[in-house]
Amino acid sequence: MTDVTITYSESDTKARYGATVEGVEGEGELTISKVSPSLIIADHTAVPDTMRGMGVAKALAERLITDARGKGQRIVPLCPFVRAHATKHRDELADVIQW
């Protein structure tokens, strides 16, 4: 897997993960909406063509899941990519995904 650097920023109601790969132009992102302290919605994941096939979207989804689990949050997978990832790993993510 490619070495992906992920940053996190947030406001009161939204948050964003950004992903970069050294030597590759562009930035991938995963955005979330905060419903409550314990519930978030994965809104959108986007990766530029320059990063396709590098595992960037998967890295973003896994970081979101790790962070949510650490904060005791549940994720509503509205974003098609996060939903597909959660469906593929349904059993191991049962504690963090809100279907």
pTM for the model stands at 0.95
Is a pLDDT exceeding 80 seen at residue 2? no
Distance separating alpha carbons of residues 58 and 53, to the nearest angstrom:
10
Helix 56-71 and helix 80-88, axial crossing angle in degrees, nearest 10: 70
Is a pLDDT exceeding 80 seen at residue 15? yes
Instruction: For 41-63, write each residue's pLDDT tens digit.
Output: 999 999 999 999 999 999 999 99
Model pLDDT, residue 1: 56
User: Helix or strand or coil: residue 38?
Assistant: coil
Instruction: For 62-95, write each residue's pLDDT tens digit.
Output: 999 999 999 999 999 999 999 999 999 999 999 9
Domains of the chain: 4-88 (3.40.630.30)
Distance separating alpha carbons of residues 50 and 57, to the nearest angstrom:
12
Q: How far is CA 8 from CA 87, 95, 98, in A?
A: 24, 22, 22
